[in-house]
Amino acid sequence: MVGALGVVFGDIGTSPIYTLATVFDPHDAHPVPVSPNNVYGVVSLIFWSVMTIVTLTYVTLVMRADNHGEGGIMALITLVRRWSAPKTRHTSMILAALGVFGAALFFGDSMITPAISVLSAVEGLEIVDPDFKDFVVPVTAAIIVALFAVQRRGTAVVGRFFGPVMILWFLSIGALGVGGIAREPEILRALSPTYALGFLAGHFHIAFFALAAVVLAVTGAEALYADMGHFGRKAITLGWLGLVLPACTVNYFGQGALVLSDESAVRAPFFLLMPEWSRIPLILLATAATVIASQAVITGAFSVASQAAQLGYLPRLRVQHTSASTIGQVYVPWINGVLLVAVLILVFAFRSSSALAYAFGMAVTGTITITTLLFLYLARTRAGAPLWLVVIGGGALLFVDLMFFAANMTKLVHGAWLPLLIAVCAFTVMTTWQRGRAIVTRARRRAEGPMREFIDSLSTREPPLIRLPGTAVFLNRGDDTAPLSMRANVEHNHVLAEHVVIVSLNTEPVPRVPDAERVTVDELGSAHDGIVHVLAHFGYMDRVDVPRALSLLDPSQTEGPLDLDRATYFLSKLELCQGDAPTMAPWRKRLFIATSYITADAAASFGLPLDRTVIIGSRLQV
């Protein structure tokens, strides 16, 4: 739970820094006037929004939907595809497409959160001394670079380091909130939902636009779900109910009490809630907490990208598993680099947290709405929830989500366009890769042909195939089609090694696979032809080492001893080029070919000796 506090709750736990100030921002296009009734209404609306979206929707309901312990919107897509009946196939395809767009929005969230969170904390230096204003952006950039540099150490290490910091943070903001409430205890009346409903009903022309800022209080809700594979549902639930929710609630009410007693404090109620003597150390603590806020969405982005690659929405990426006890703790170097560049661009382009506030809200509300919709579909199809409950209860949750989303749509020209642009770009890349991959897979299967039919034809070739002394290892995707490299070698060189091993890899949902269970051998139905198929099993924490796995084979399994010290390894590589077939639009073909270049190097991924690895390429038109 300490690790979860150090990673998962940073985003939602630092929302008190900027939420109330953004709601009452006088420079906003639709400002909320500062008055006692509005303060009660806004504080009550923040509290009940958090209870409805985070506590009820995510912690109580959505986090029950996991895919072998993994959470996040990509896990929901997997479950939707798995549990869809034939008669609802069309509906599930539409929902899956919506889910991919939600994942794309989450990538936008992962870029915006580090920028707005760290900027908002460093801006607190201006409260201490206005002369620090010119240092805000450079200091923010330096902190962000340092944050992304430590990601390779793994979520568990980062969580253990950040956990105590976040515990101190939540205790501190809770204490500040208690101090504020002590000045104006009347603010506690805002715990009643009547104030939130009264604010919405009596001042809808103001309250509707205020929702675009109120939603900042629930930023990080999707990160709770996306990071579930890193720490588990129980640790996240206990951390939220036991510490994070009470601390944030008390702080929001303390800020509201401060504004009631001094309306001028609305410009920075979080920082002005601090006693003057404590501002510098607490601003430093806030800066540390916002760095951790970024950690929640960064690790979530790693999980989403890893799952997207497994589902075929992204190319094979280099994924490092950083924990032997939790399958979801991953580090994806390529995603880490892309996020770093994107976050720095946002920091230098927007230069303040207020400029990014509405961009932030759009990314959050879009993802939350789609997640709720997918969950309700699963509740009906998988869990068998009564239709009336899904329609009434789920409809109420969706209504709340759509209200927030509609309010943020009014901020399109004020920055809300940014996450939509990022999401459209990411969605286009993912759907193009999925479509192109399906086209290439069909073409590749036609070119490879059935495995057993090809093996059987080798003995009847004219002229007879020359079998040379030695061992050849061909890497292949499975055992149903012939490796392209093997087929090309036979058809063009008319030779084949005396011992041939066709190897396929399988990653199991366990940390490590013992050597006794490492390999499974299939003679492919033809005894004594020197050709076997080997399925190598690896755990997600195992280092994939094909030569070592083959060394575990007994000579009786491979129709004779293998000369692995001098064996040659063959990889099939497809060179994609744009063809005339109307499979995709020309621009999507170019995008698909460009995306293929980020695929992780196969030889390095499989532990092959580079001086004895031969790559045989084939050209394929898309």
Domain presence at residue 435? no
CA distances in angstroms from 317 to 210, 506, 575, listed in the order given? 41, 16, 18
Q: CA-CA distance, 141 to 145, in Å (whole number)?
A: 6
pTM of the predicted protein model: 0.78
- Looking at every residue in the chain, the average pLDDT score rounds to 85
Q: Is pLDDT of 524 > 60?
A: yes
* 256 vs 38: CA distance, rounded Å: 10
Report pLDDT digits (tens) over 319-351. 776 655 555 567 888 888 999 999 999 999 888
Q: Which of 395, 300, 398 is nearest to 74 (CA)?
A: 300
Same domain, 457 and 516: yes
The per-residue pLDDT for range 261-270, each reduced to its tens digit, is 988 888 889 9
Report the run of H or E that residue 576 belongs to, with start and end.
Answer: strand 568-577
Same domain for 548 and 486, yes or no, is yes
| pLDDT higher at 570 or 525 | 570
If asked whether residues 337 and 410 sit together in one domain, one would say: yes
Segment 405-420 mean pLDDT: 85
pLDDT reported for residue 540: 61
Question: Is residue 384 domain-shared with residue 459, that is, in the same domain?
Answer: no
Provide the 3-class DSSP secondary structure of residue 277.
Answer: helix
User: What's 366's domain CATH number?
Assistant: 1.20.1740.10
Q: What is residue 118's predicted lDDT score, i.e. its pLDDT? A: 82
Instruction: Return the higher-pLDDT residue of 1 and 177.
Output: 177
Sheet strands (E) in 261-403: 320-321, 330-331
70 & 141 share domain: yes
Nearest one of 272, 278, 277, 206 to 38, comparing CA atoms: 206
Which pLDDT score, from 0 to 100, does residue 327 have?
52
Q: Which residue has the higher pLDDT, 312 or 57?
A: 57
- State the pLDDT at residue 12: 86
Backbone angles phi, psi at 518, to 5 degrees: -70, -40
Give every CB contact of residue 622 below 8 A, 6+ residues apart in sequence: 436, 439, 440, 443, 576, 577, 578, 579, 581, 583, 584, 589, 592, 593
- Looking at 414, 433, 465, the residue that finishes a domain is 414
Peptide linkage before 164 cis (omega within 30 of 0): no
How many other CB atoms sit within 10 Å of the CB of residue 389? 12
Q: Is residue 275 one of the residues assigned to a domain?
A: yes
Is 519 contained in some domain?
Answer: yes
Q: How far is CA 176 from CA 40, 183, 368, 434, in A?
A: 19, 11, 30, 50
Any domain includes 575:
yes
Tell whether the model's pLDDT for residue 233 goes beyond 80. Answer: yes
Q: Is residue 433 part of a domain?
A: no
Same domain, 333 and 481: no
Position 60 scores a pLDDT of 92
Residue 436 domain-assigned (yes or no): no
Q: Does residue 106 form part of some domain?
A: yes
Q: Provide the number of structural domains found in the chain.
A: 2
| pLDDT over 90 (residue 54) | yes
> In Å, how far from its chain's centre is CA 338?
13
* Torsion sign across C-alpha atoms 105, 108, 112, 113: positive
Contact yes or no for 463/607 (Cβ under 8 A):
no
Q: What percent of the chain is predicted at pLDDT more than 70?
A: 95
pLDDT band at 311; cut points 50, 70, 90: confident
> For 446-481, what is each residue's pLDDT tens digit?
888 888 888 888 878 877 888 888 899 999 887 788
Q: What pLDDT sits at residue 543?
A: 76
Cβ-proximal residues to 53 (8 Å cutoff; 6+ apart), any chain: 218, 221, 368, 400, 401
In a shared domain, residues 251 and 367: yes
Tokens representing residue 170 in the block: 């939540």
Please give the structure tokens belonging to residue 465: 């195939």
Report pLDDT for 159.
Answer: 64
Angle between helices 136-149 and 333-350 (to 10 degrees): 180
Asked whether the predicted pLDDT for residue 484 surpasses 70, the reply is yes
pLDDT digits (tens, 9 = 90+) for 542-579: 778 899 999 888 888 777 788 888 899 998 888 888 88
464 and 406 belong to one structural domain: no
Predicted local distance difference test score (pLDDT) of residue 441: 84
Q: Do the Cβ atoms of 272 and 124 come closer than 8 Å? A: no
Confidence at residue 114, expressed as pLDDT on a 0 to 100 scale: 85
Of 370, 396, 414, which marks where a domain is finished? Answer: 414
Give the integer Cα–Cα distance in Å for 66 and 78: 10
User: Rounded to an integer, what distance in angstroms lies between the CA atom of residue 296 and that of residue 227?
Assistant: 7
At residue 11's C-alpha, the angle toward residues 9 and 17, to 5°, is: 115
Q: What is the pLDDT of residues 7-35, one digit of tens each?
A: 778 778 888 988 898 888 877 777 788 89
Residue 410 and residue 537 share a domain: no
With bands split at pLDDT 50, 70 and 90, how would you rate the model's confidence at 606?
confident
> Is residue 500 a contact partner of residue 597, using CB atoms and an 8 Å limit?
no
Shared domain check, 178 and 102:
yes
Over residues 238-263, the pLDDT tens digits come to 999 999 999 999 999 999 999 999 88
Residue 601 DSSP code: P
Reported as a pLDDT band with limits 50, 70 and 90, residue 397 is very high
Orientation of helix 353-381 relative to helix 395-409, angle to 10°: 150
Final residue before a domain boundary, out of 359, 394, 414 = 414
Which band of pLDDT confidence, cut at 50, 70 and 90, is reported for residue 525?
Answer: low
SS3 percent helix, strand, coil of the chain, rounded to 5, is 65, 10, 25
> Do residue 242 and residue 374 come from a single domain?
yes
List the domain range (segments joined by +) for residue 265. 1-414
For residues 352 and 464, state if they share a domain. Answer: no
The CA distance from 114 to 109, in Å, is 9
Question: What's residue 511's pLDDT?
Answer: 63
- Long-range CB contacts (within 8 A, 24+) of 410-417: 410/30, 410/208, 410/209, 410/212, 411/29, 411/212, 411/358, 411/361, 411/362, 414/29, 414/358, 415/350, 415/355, 415/356, 415/357, 415/358, 415/359, 415/362, 416/212, 416/358, 416/359, 416/361, 416/362, 417/359
Does 428 fall in a domain?
no
User: Which whole number is the average pLDDT over 269-298?
Assistant: 81
Question: Does 184 score more than 80 pLDDT?
Answer: yes
Question: Tell me: the pLDDT tens digits for 347-374?
Answer: 998 887 777 777 777 888 888 999 999 9
